[in-house]
Amino acid sequence: MVTNRKQHSAKTPVNQGPEEIAPEPNRIGASTPFDFAGKNLTPYGGLLPVITMLEKLGFQSVVEQTLTSKRIPRAMALYRFVLGIVLGLYIGFPRLNQLRFIARNPVLTGILQVSKLPVQSTFWRFLAALHLNVALQILTVTGTMRERVWAAANVKLEVVTIDTDTTVHTLYGRQMGGRKSYNPKNKGKNSFQPGPGGAPTFLAETREYIWGELHNGDRPTGKEIGDHLRNACAALPPGVKQIFGRADSGFYCRDAVEAYEKCHVQFVISARKTSRLVEQLRQAEWKPSPKTDADAQCEFWYQPDGWSKEYRFVAVRYEKPREEVEAEESEQYQLFETRFSTA
């Protein structure tokens, strides 16, 4: 049989995907449709267990008895404002303008006992009405809740480690207290520093925030550093019996050492290289370091200027490739006349 049709008469399939890959993912906004069809999960993301836990821990009474405000909110009570911000952070919205996405969520509005969340400017006015002492009041609330959570969860940490690390918050405006100071990621820009010298303190075992206060971009004084460490130790639960402390070179001063010793803390501080300390490093006996990844190590006793006694100093040294040494100027290379860097 002979026909005049082509051998392959089937239609060519249409390409299912776009010809070019989209440069950016689709943005999720308030109008984005969503649905939930899980069988063993809940659509509220665990908010009800969280609010139940806060009720059993007495979170409302702690907030109402501790926090004070000059302005009486009308949209919601002070505790409801605080609870709304806390639940927003728990859900995953760290910015106030993101709360509009869940402003009418029935679970959240039911917990806060409102028909819908206030607009963003209302939250701004609420925060602007809080005075500076509220920062310490919030730390008091945090300490009280920490003790209650540890007691409820049967957490009995007797030995803890407190870490103090330097950080900065870059400012993109003319906020009060902003300074041009240590800011390695955005050099030359104004910044705030939480805690003295931008060094908040955390609990290493549980990653809890222990102590810190908003500080301008200026270098902190020794008194501010000492007060910070003493407050951090005092904020620990009463069951803690032994404390270890770790801090970077921003806390290398006599006041920090005295604060650690007053609180009976065994500490390690990263030292800053002064001319006298460099001379001690030159005279030190360097040995192999089998227990670390360093190429050499040394230790000696040294008393910095103004300190009450000698302390044990430990230094490690890493060999740098010759290409790296030649490519960049290294302070350690100039001081030691060797292809090693020290820490």
CATH, residue 164: 3.30.420
Q: At what angle do helices 59-66 and 47-56 cross, to 10 degrees?
A: 60
Check whether 29 has a pLDDT greater than 70: no
> Do 198 and 224 have their domain in common?
yes
Domain contains 176 = yes
Verify that 276 and 266 share a domain, yes or no: no
Average pLDDT of the chain?
Answer: 79
Of 216, 235, 270, which marks where a domain is finished? 270
Is 324 a residue whose pLDDT tops 90? no
Query: Do residue 257 and residue 173 come from a single domain?
Result: yes
Any domain includes 19: no
Between vectors from CA 327 to CA 322 and to CA 331, what angle results, nearest 5°? 85
Identify the residue with better confidence: 54 or 35.
54
Domain that includes residue 313, residue range = 271-343
Average of per-residue pLDDT across 110-114: 89
25 assigned to some structural domain:
no
pLDDT at 20 over 60: no
Predicted confidence (pLDDT) at residue 320 exceeds the cutoff of 80: no
Same domain flag for 266 and 277: no
Q: Do 165 and 236 fall into the same domain?
A: yes
Report the share of the chain in percent with pLDDT over 90: 29
Lowest model confidence (mean pLDDT) among 7-16, 65-74, 286-295, 317-326: 7-16
Residue 44 predicted with pLDDT over 60:
no
Within a domain: residue 144? no
| 98 pLDDT tier (thresholds 50, 70, 90) | confident
Co-location of 250 and 283 in the same domain: no
The total domain count for the chain is 3
Query: What mean pLDDT comes out for the span 160-175?
Result: 76
Write down the pLDDT at residue 340.
44
Q: Which pLDDT value is given to residue 83?
A: 93
pLDDT of residue 127: 87
b/e for 97-109, b at 16 or more Cβ within 10 A? eebebbbebebbb
Res. 3 pLDDT band, cuts 50 70 90: low
Give the pLDDT score at 335. 40
Last-in-domain residue among 110, 128, 146: 128
pLDDT reported for residue 331: 47
Residue 149, in any domain of the structure: no
How many angstroms separate the most distant Cα atoms in the chain? Answer: 111
Residue 14 lies in a domain: no
Q: How confident is the model at residue 14 (pLDDT cuts 50, 70, 90)?
A: low
pLDDT surpasses 60 at 242: yes
Q: Is residue 165 part of a domain?
A: yes
Residues 202 and 223 in one domain: yes
Structural domain includes residue 136: no
pLDDT at 48: 83
Looking at the structure, tell me whether residues 318 and 247 fall in a common domain: no
- Domain shared by 195 and 215, yes or no: yes
| Same domain? 54 vs 114 | yes
181-227 tens-digit pLDDT:
666 666 667 766 655 545 689 999 998 989 887 666 567 788 888 99
C-alpha distances in Å from residue 109, one per residue of 21, 103, 120, 127, 255: 40, 8, 15, 20, 49
CA distance 61 to 303: 50
- % of the chain beyond a pLDDT of 70: 70
Range 109-132 average pLDDT: 88
Choose among 61, 60, 68, 105: nearest CA to 86: 60
SS (H, E, C) 88-134: HHHHCCCCHHHHHHHCCCHHHHHHHCCCCCCCHHHHHHHHHCCCCHH
pLDDT of 158 above 90: yes
Does 107 lie in the same domain as 177? no
Q: Name the domain boundary from 233, 254, 270.
A: 270
Please give the pLDDT value at position 68: 87
pLDDT at 55: 93
Residue 168 pLDDT > 90: no
- Report whether pLDDT(339) > 50: no
224 and 204 in a common domain: yes
Q: Taking 50 as the threshold, does the pLDDT of residue 334 lie above it?
A: no
| pLDDT for 23 beyond 60 | no
Classify the C-alpha dihedral 87-91-97-101 as positive or negative: negative
